[in-house]
DNA sequence: TGGCCTATGTTTAGTCG
DNA sequence: CCGACTAAACATAGGCC
């Protein structure tokens, strides 16, 4: 993919790191969204890096008897 | 991607649904793993569908002073 | 930082075994 | 279900601004 195949190992060059991360983050977020829509799958995706703000994606099916589509306002342990 | 462009909308044909889901699930899991390795990013990915078992992927950086690489044995609210 | 570009590597729809 | 195959669509590395 791209001009050169990128070997899957930790990227140490910080300059390139952030730009690449942004591109790939967008890519996986798009995939997650497509998956949730295509297959009606509930998806939770959390990405936490040391160099940018964390990213959170969450999609859930609507549930009967719930006002907000089943999304909890606060985290719940059952 | 593939022979025919798949419009991103809910798939109703159950026969094709499961096979396609499996392929795409593998795809996004690979992406998640690559992301975590390349950028040293902590990743949580949870997929829950009505027609197969849920899938959970979690990767975290090792932390000093913790035995098991920072993975909580039980869910924790802070 | 982040958008745009393009060449090239990757993913996947459809099919068969 | 699983794996393999192919062609077409997609994602992205590197570069430029």
CATH number, domain at A39? Answer: 3.40.1810.10
Q: Is the pLDDT of residue B2 over 90?
A: no
Contact assignment for B38 to A8 by CB distance below 8 Å:
yes
Asked whether residue B22 is domain-assigned, the answer is yes
More confident site: A15 or B21: B21
Q: Which of A20, A31, A50 sits opposite B28 (nearest CB)?
A: A31
The pLDDT tens digits of the residues spanning A10-63 come to: 777 777 789 999 999 999 999 999 999 999 899 999 999 888 888 999 988 766
Span CA (B64) to C1' (C12), Å: 41
Span CA (A6) to C1' (C4), Å: 21
Q: Which of A59, A41, A42, A50 is nearest to A21 (CA)?
A: A50
Asked whether residue A6 is domain-assigned, the answer is no
In this prediction, residue A65 carries a pLDDT of 56
Q: Sort out which chain A residues have CB atoms less than 8 A from B40's CB and list them.
A: 10, 49-50
Domain count, chain B: 1
Categorize the per-residue pLDDT at A2 as very low, low, confident or very high, splitting at 50, 70 and 90: confident
């Amino acid at each position: 993919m791209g001009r050169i195949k990128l070997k899957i190992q930790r990227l140490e060059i910080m300059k390139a790191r952030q730009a690449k991360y942004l591109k790939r983050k967008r890519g996986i977020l798009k995939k997650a969204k497509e998956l949730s829509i295509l297959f009606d799958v509930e998806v939770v995706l959390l990405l936490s890096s040391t160099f940018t703000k964390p990213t959170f994606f969450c999609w859930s099916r609507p549930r009967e008897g719930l006002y907000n589509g089943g999304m909890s306002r606060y985290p719940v342990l059952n």
